[in-house]
Amino acid sequence: MLEIENKYPVTDFPRLEKALAKLGAQPAVDRQDADHYFNAPDRDFAQTDEAFRIRRIGTHNHVTYKGPKIDRETKTRKEIEVPFAGGDEAAAKMIDLFTHLGYRPVAVVRKRRRTLELEREGFDLEICLDEVEQVGTFAEIEIVAEEKRFEAAKAVIQKLAVELGLGATERRSYLQMQLSN
């Protein structure tokens, strides 16, 4: 499966939420995320355009690997996410395990994320309104789809962005933006 997404700088969440409501978007969840990023002992993920992290959503924990972007217009990449035991102790033990295996902590990206769900042209979209500490405010439009549906999913995302009046995309990750500050 591919994670097909675009990210857009946003300064007016209320306007965007009203536009999404008119299109039938349904609020899903508000949450606090803390993404603990690591670099590998055998390669530099900044050079290979990969990402490896522990994502903490409240007490829920996930390990995520993101492969290199496969497209110049979107942030599309293979994503593998695996949940593991919840809570602070499990997260601390996983961080300790990765460190002992040679993975180096890079940074923690913290954000408040408000998600909305919308169905368009046979795709389930997730729209995330993110307030990212040290970085700014953004909207992400995402579809998870099979590789054979990549072009169709990309077109749906781009069409919705135009309808919502979103401007230029931001291809850098929140981690890249945070590290450049």
Task: Give, in degrees to the nearest 5, the angle at Cα 159 between 135 and 148.
Answer: 95
Per-residue model confidence (pLDDT) at position 4: 97
Per-residue model confidence (pLDDT) at position 28: 83
How far lies 170's CA from each of 88, 135, 148, in Å?
Answer: 32, 12, 25
pTM: 0.94
Structure confidence by residue, pLDDT tens digits, 136-157: 999 999 999 999 999 999 999 9
In contact, 4 and 154? CB cutoff 8 Å: yes
Per-residue model confidence (pLDDT) at position 75: 93
Residue 14 has pLDDT above 90, yes or no: yes
The band of 29, judged by pLDDT with boundaries at 50, 70 and 90, is confident
Name the token pair of 36: 């603990």
Structure confidence by residue, pLDDT tens digits, 126-135: 999 999 999 9
Per-residue model confidence (pLDDT) at position 93: 98
Mean pLDDT across the chain: 96
Structural domain that includes position 148? 2-180
In contact, 126 and 168? CB cutoff 8 Å: no
CATH number at 76 reads 2.40.320.10
Instruction: Give alpha helix (H) positions in the chain.
Output: 13-22, 45-48, 88-100, 150-163, 174-180
Mean pLDDT, residues 26-46 taken together: 95
The band of 54, judged by pLDDT with boundaries at 50, 70 and 90, is very high
Residue 81 has pLDDT above 90, yes or no: yes
Task: Give, in degrees to the nearest 5, the angle at Cα 126 between 180 and 59.
Answer: 70
> What residues act catalytically?
37
Per-residue model confidence (pLDDT) at position 8: 98
Domain count, the chain: 1
